Structure 1
Amino acid sequence: MTDWLVGLMETLGAPGAGLAIALENLFPPLPSEVILPLSGFTASRGEMDLLDVLVCTTLGSVIGALALYWVGALLGRERTLAIAAKLPLVKTSDIEKTEAWFLKHGRKTVFFGRMIPLFRSLISVPAGVERMPLVPFTLLTATGSLIWNTIFVMAGYLLGENWSLVEAYVGIGSKVVLGLVVLAIVVFVAVRLTERRKGRHASRR
């Protein structure tokens, strides 16, 4: 991964870092926790301009987010409900509740979601499904991404040869987030299975 990123930045410079971040939005396994500090470290060596790195990585974040936004927009609300109706243990009311919550808190979610691993990419899809106005979506995405990118690029810039420490510490946070997501899924499945069993018992009486 590191060799590929180094090669990309050596070939394209700061736009290469931006391209990597755009791809990271589309493929979350590409970690921004590696891309951004490495970009900062490369800038500290004078091989890229620091401001160019911040501009290009933020632009990459916006481009990747817009791509996923349009995936959600093309999917649309009716298709989402139709897919949900076919999924085991999922009710259309779940989607409707999520929809109502997003309509109420969507702007804050898009902004702060840019600073949470995993959700950084995923939040763009429901924004597209709900057809959140494009201008606010783009501005919130750019602002949240700029904050996130600046923190990690500057960390790599200041840490120099020790830039990989950023990945080590942030990786712990990413695992915590992933663990909470898995726990939430387990609880959801357990609750639905319990409801199903109770429904069967009630129908037999």
Structure 2
Amino acid sequence: MDMVELATDAIADYGYWALGVFLVILAPEALMPFAGFLAHEGLLNLWLSILVGSLGGTAGSTLIYLLARRAGEERVRDLLRRRGRWVLVRESDLDKVLGVYERKGDWIVAGGRLIPTVRSLVSIPAGLLPMSFGRFVGLTFLGTFIWNSFLGLAGYTLGAQWSALEPYLGVYGALVTATVLVVVGIFVVRRLLAQGIKGR
């Protein structure tokens, strides 16, 4: 039995608290359509499920934010100065990321919750800036609530066919992940080429 099966069994047996706890560590795409189905069957309240799931997702993202905040910008900068060349990341790359966050952080934190893979990463620069705790939590909850509402309502609408949503979410997640990998790949190749030229 994998983690998702364990989670769905726990939600079916124990309801809201299990949904909230598992969404601290699992992606909402795995559980919110199922919660919507349970609401369709009258076993859970749809909007309470969405609220609890959003609180769990927000808690998970906030843990990452707090870890980044505890590490601190200076510690990360020091690590990049000493070891950055081994991971092909420079201190100037951090400056660029933090600069984008200072200009568009609200949209990135809220909108990033709708994007698999990116969802967890957006908490890190927010913690390094650091974006204020209240602002981060509020924006994270907003984005998470919007996405969980879509997933929960989809599961509710599909009813017993809720699992039919899974292939579409899988394609969506795969496309986003592939896009991220392509962008990272381009970055790595360009950085390797730049280092090779400098080494001559």
TM-score (norm 2): 0.92
Matched, 1:43 2:43: no
Instruction: Spell out the pairing of 1:10-159 with structure 2 (5 A cutoff).
Output: 10-24=12-26, 31-85=27-81, 86-87=83-84, 88=86, 89-159=88-158
**Structure 1 CA distance, aligned partners of 2:38 and 2:7?**
11
* Unpaired stretches in structure 2, ≥5 consecutive residues: none
**Structure 1 CA distance, aligned partners of 2:139 and 2:198?**
44
- The two structures, once aligned, show a CA RMSD in angstroms of 1.4
Q: Give aligned-pair identity as a percent.
A: 30
**Structure 1 CA distance, aligned partners of 2:52 and 2:190?**
45
Contact 1:22 1:62 (C-alpha < 8 Å) held by counterparts: yes
The corresponding residue for 1:186 is: 185
Residues matched between the structures, number = 195
**Structure 1 CA distance, aligned partners of 2:12 and 2:22?**
13
The corresponding residue for 1:28 is: none
The corresponding residue for 1:3 is: 5
Judged with a 3 Å threshold, the aligned counterparts in structure 2 of structure 1 residues 197 and 151 are, in CA distance, closer, same or farther, namely: same
One-letter code of the match for 1:10? A
Contact 1:54 1:146 (C-alpha < 8 Å) held by counterparts: yes
Matched, 1:195 2:194: yes
SS in 2 for 1:46: coil
**Structure 2 CA distance, aligned partners of 1:138 and 1:182?**
28
**Structure 2 CA distance, aligned partners of 1:83 and 1:174?**
31
SS in 2 for 1:117: coil
One-letter code of the match for 1:50? L
SS in 2 for 1:58: helix
TM-score (norm 1): 0.89
Contact 2:109 2:136 (C-alpha < 8 Å) held by counterparts: yes
Contact 2:69 2:130 (C-alpha < 8 Å) held by counterparts: yes
**Structure 2 CA distance, aligned partners of 1:177 and 1:50?**
28
* Unpaired stretches in structure 1, ≥5 consecutive residues: 25-30
Contact 1:57 1:149 (C-alpha < 8 Å) held by counterparts: yes
**Structure 1 CA distance, aligned partners of 2:175 and 2:35?**
25
**Structure 2 CA distance, aligned partners of 1:82 and 1:135?**
28
Structure 1 residue 130: Cα displacement: 1.0
Compare 132-141 and 79-88 and name the one that shifted more.
79-88
SS in 2 for 1:114: helix
Structure 1 residue 78: Cα displacement: 0.9
